[in-house]
Structure 1
Amino acid sequence: MSLLFSPLRLRSVTFPNRLWVSPMCMYSAVDGVVQDWHRTHLTQFASGGAGLVVAEATAVLPEGRISPRDAGIWTEEQREAWEPIVSGIHARGALAGIQLAHAGRKASTWWPWAEQRGSVPASEGGWITSAPSAVAFHGFDTPRALDAAGIDAVVAAFAAAARRALDAGFDVLELHGAHGYLLHQFLSPLSNLREDEYGGSLENRARLLLRVLDAVRRTAGEEVPVFVRISATDHADGGFSPEEAAVVADWARERGADLIDVSSGGLVAHQRIDVFPGYQVGLAGTVRRGGRIPTSAVGLITAAEQAERVLEDGEADAIFAGREWLRDPHFALRAAHELGVEMPWPPQYERARWR
């Protein structure tokens, strides 16, 4: 039996396999509304055998977008635009998830292929960003520190976004607490210099993440899985550490999280990352054991046997991949073929199944 192609049940949801599509920003929305590009992009992975397709980081507030071209779910128009995409994913046999996000001090930036870099000025559609402290990411404008009312508004926005996502038909909700965005900014002492109940100790730095999780868990009810993506290390001295990540994961489990999606980095420009195939897998194992919660591994996992071995070694319960799905939207079908696993293929693709 292949672990990669065995089902996984979390709450009321059974995932048909454990090879999933990571959220990947497309920078192709208009006023937060996803377009035809998103439909084609996401549904192709379902045709390719993915057990779960997670839509890109989707802003819960307009000022929470990474760029002016980011997807959002703070309006009903945006929710309506997601509905046919979710239906298309379901029609092709996969489950649909969405990553709810707020970019904090890394918001209002140019998209990757823009000629400019750094923060987008107001004259070009940019805005003033917010963060735990008035400390800028390298090369970006200085954010304003959130006050108590601003923090409450963020929590309420995540809950409202979760409601819209469920109304759009999503099966899984993921909170983006990684890659240097707002929830991660609160977690790390490198970006959180507060002296109130949201700063200082790990318990205080995790307070916003856990408040958001509580609000989303209440909205989701008891049946819908809620994931939390974290960067388990900042790859920088004095930053958020794997040991702290395991503690936060345990707290999240107690508050109703079902799986920790373990990534790393993104908080500071001076990070130093040793990149190699599966370079983040050990972090997923650390969080899994210390947090006593299912985890997913991600990071240069590109081959069927490699993904299978991660699960066999007990480092994670599922595999997220990103770039490999972009290179091959039928990654799961190929992986199953290579492992000799029987799995449903679209009848239109049957001629490629065995030869």
Structure 2
Amino acid sequence: MPGKVIPDIFSPSKLGPLELKNRTIKAATYENMAREGLVTQPLIDFHVEHAQGGVAMTTVAYCAVAPDGRTDGNQIVWRDAAEPGLRRLTDAVHDAGAAISAQIGHSGPVNNAQATGTRAIAPSRHFNKQFMRVVGAAGRDDIERIVAAHGDAARMAIETGFDAVEVHLGHNYLASSFLSPKLNRRDDEYGGSLQNRARLALRILDAVRDAAGDRLAIITKLNMDDGVPGGFWLDEACQVAQWIEQTGAVDALEMTAGSSLLNPMYLFKGDSPIAEFAAMMKEPIRTGIKLVGKHVLREYPYYDGYLLEDSLQIRSAVNLPMILLGGVTNRTTMDRAMAEGFQYVAMGRALLREPDLINRIQADSSTRSLCNHNNKCMTTIFTGTRCVLIPEDTAGPTEETEHAAISLVLPTR
């Protein structure tokens, strides 16, 4: 038998109906550059810079399907008022030579109701220690509304020029929290067995595909494990990935890990920037972060391709195209991903440090990322995500900054 053909990372590829110029994707890194739920010029400039830097597609994070699906008050919500700005954004990225994807989802229990002015919901009623308040259980009307809202978001994504959507099923946002036996204690058809806990996620994907048809590439970001005892785990993720494949609703899977609600650093690996978080805050929040931060922002060692080994278990369970996320910073890791059967790689922090890294790797395969995984970029999500190693004036604490810090919500990277 002939040997397996290993694609070159810089070869063109077809993702669903979408033609990509290469196999690199700018991962969703929450920008906090929208204001009042609308696109701003800094948000456009951010994604244009990454498009010019060589990625085949850049991902806008995070676009909520409903007002109560946000994690902070500035996030984009799919609604008529947002359409003109979204169209300017997609046109600008296309003019810069890249495709553009929108990450869509509902925050569920990760919603800081104080910051968004809405009601947070979860699979089951529970006391949220981050927000210091009781979060109510989602009712049937909530479930139906949110499923339909994902379909509406897909339709608006098409209307505003997006090439793809990434459906967020990770980090204990709403769909992910339903998957978690730690957070989901329901006794109806959405709780108990894995099949029941996966019902919401599968319905959401069906709604997105029904709305999009073949006009949009559909990616889903799925947790492999929550990083907490009693949470969603890898063996369950393999089964859910197989069910996702059976729906025919998805063009590619991107595997992730960790819980923005319970263990945010489990995804990122590297240093835990507790001192930097504290320095941004006023008292008494500053002292509180110094005292309890190490228990919330636990530290995990970084190494290149740190999600690869677990992702390979998903790779062996499905035939869907897959995107490798986690510690992709150099050509060696990219080539290994291709050799292991992944079709794409997604990059976050390395591109925050060097938006032109893809162009430079293509020109010289020995190029190494300058990102040192200090994770101080996380503290900038409150004022506009950037690499702190690149000098820039920073704003001081604001009321919204403090709301965000209280919740320690750290969206995907």
Scaled by the length of structure 2, the TM-score of the pair is 0.75
- Which of 25, 31, 41 is residue 26 of structure 1 equivalent to? 31
| SS at 1:265 equivalent | coil
Rounded Cα–Cα distance in structure 1 between residues aligned with 2:260 and 2:190: 18
CA contact (8 A) 1:159 1:219 kept: yes
What residue number does 1:120 align with?
114
User: Which is worse superposed, 76-85 or 266-275?
Assistant: 266-275
Q: How many Å apart are 1:2 and its aligned residue?
A: 6.1
Q: How many Å apart are 1:148 and its aligned residue?
A: 0.7
What residue number does 1:167 align with?
159
Q: Does 1:98 align with 2:125?
A: no
What residue number does 1:333 align with?
359
Q: Does 1:324 align with 2:318?
A: no
| SS at 1:191 equivalent | coil
What residue number does 2:54 align with?
49
| SS at 2:134 equivalent | coil
CA contact (8 A) 1:235 1:272 kept: no
Rounded Cα–Cα distance in structure 2 between residues aligned with 1:85 and 1:271: 29
Judged with a 3 Å threshold, the aligned counterparts in structure 2 of structure 1 residues 242 and 28 are, in CA distance, closer, same or farther, namely same
CA contact (8 A) 1:132 1:194 kept: yes
Judged with a 3 Å threshold, the aligned counterparts in structure 2 of structure 1 residues 270 and 95 are, in CA distance, closer, same or farther, namely closer
Q: Does 1:308 align with 2:328?
A: no
What residue number does 1:232 align with?
224
Write out the 4+ residue segments of structure 1 that deviate beyond 6 Å after TM superposition: none
Structure 1 unaligned spans of 5+: 109-118, 342-355
Q: How many residues align?
A: 326
CA contact (8 A) 1:7 1:16 kept: yes
Rounded Cα–Cα distance in structure 1 between residues aligned with 2:103 and 2:195: 24
Deviations 1:135-178 (A, max 9, x none): 24431232211111110000111111111111001011110011
**Aligned-residue identity in percent:** 30
CA contact (8 A) 2:110 2:260 kept: no
Matches within 5 A, 1:102-181: 102-108=106-112, 120=114, 126-140=117-131, 141-181=133-173
Deviations 1:46-67 (A, max 9, x none): 1011111111111010111011
Q: How many Å apart are 1:272 and its aligned residue?
A: 8.1
Amino acid at match of 1:300: G
Amino acid at match of 1:281: L
Rounded Cα–Cα distance in structure 1 between residues aligned with 2:37 and 2:194: 33
User: Which is worse superposed, 182-191 or 136-145?
Assistant: 136-145
Deviations 1:287-309 (A, max 9, x none): 12213222111112211222222
| SS at 2:146 equivalent | helix
The root-mean-square deviation of aligned C-alpha atoms, in Å, is 1.9
| SS at 1:185 equivalent | helix
| SS at 2:114 equivalent | coil
What residue number does 1:9 align with?
14
CA contact (8 A) 2:110 2:261 kept: no
Rounded Cα–Cα distance in structure 2 between residues aligned with 1:152 and 1:219: 15
Deviations 1:309-343 (A, max 9, x none): 222233x22110111111011121011012289xx
What residue number does 1:78 align with?
82
User: Which is worse superposed, 153-162 or 290-299?
Assistant: 290-299
Rounded Cα–Cα distance in structure 1 between residues aligned with 2:178 and 2:319: 23
